[in-house]
Amino acid sequence: MSEELYQHANGIAFSRISDVYIPRSCSFGKSQILFRDSTNRKEIELLLLELLDDVCFRLRMHQVVAQTVHLSIGYNKQTGGGFSRQKKMGRASNLNQDIFPYCLTILHNFDNGMPIRSIGISLSNTSIEEEEQMSLFEDIDQRERAYALAKTIDEIRMRYGKNSLLRASSHLEHSTACYRNGLVGGYKA
């Protein structure tokens, strides 16, 4: 017993952290500070969709689904403030078309029209993809086709680069997807 107390007092442990520490949940997120203040909400929705594309890609790579959407909006320096809200979805998902309407609901309900300078989105309350509860009232074939399409797009992007397959809206002037995909760790490569 004295040897065990000595080891404990001196920070000596032979157990593996993975055996002791089991994380309860994790979240996947991404945020962006805009190049300029934006009052155009269509631009903000496009940038939000681009960020959501990246986050959903990471969810699918880790083979998890998320049930809680968290949106953070920061206003410019002159007005200050912003808001940060979350909403629980009816069903866990890792598909953009399932999650984006919840993001829009949060944005439209809490935005007060001030110039926006930063956007952040995170998806939490994750669970393993195979453990998902099936719905009796949903067209399963349509959901499987949407998931297969998303996985195919992910595979193309992994093989040929993130800019190989983008939304048409990502080539607009105010879009940042092409620029962000060229960064390494947030900096020019």
Question: Which string of DSSP letters, residue by residue, matches 126-137?
Answer: -EEGGGPPPPSS
In this model, does residue 4 exceed pLDDT 60? yes
Span 54-81, average pLDDT: 91
φ, ψ of residue 116 to 5 degrees: the values are: -95, 135
Would you place residue 144 in the very low, low, confident or very high pLDDT band (cuts 50, 70, 90)?
A: confident
What are the residue ranges spanned by the domains of the chain?
Answer: 24-130+139-188
Question: What predicted TM-score, i.e. pTM, was given to this entire model?
Answer: 0.76
Segment among 64-68, 83-87, 137-141, 158-162 with least mean pLDDT: 137-141
The CB density around residue 122, as the number of other CB atoms within 10 Å, is 19
Residue 167 DSSP one-character state: -
Burial class (CB in 10 A: 0-12, 13-18, 19+), 24: exposed
The radius of gyration of the chain from alpha carbons, rounded to an integer in Å, stands at 20
φ, ψ of residue 108 to 5 degrees: the values are: -75, -30
Looking at the structure, give the CATH architecture of the domain made up of residues 24-130+139-188: 2-Layer Sandwich (3.30)
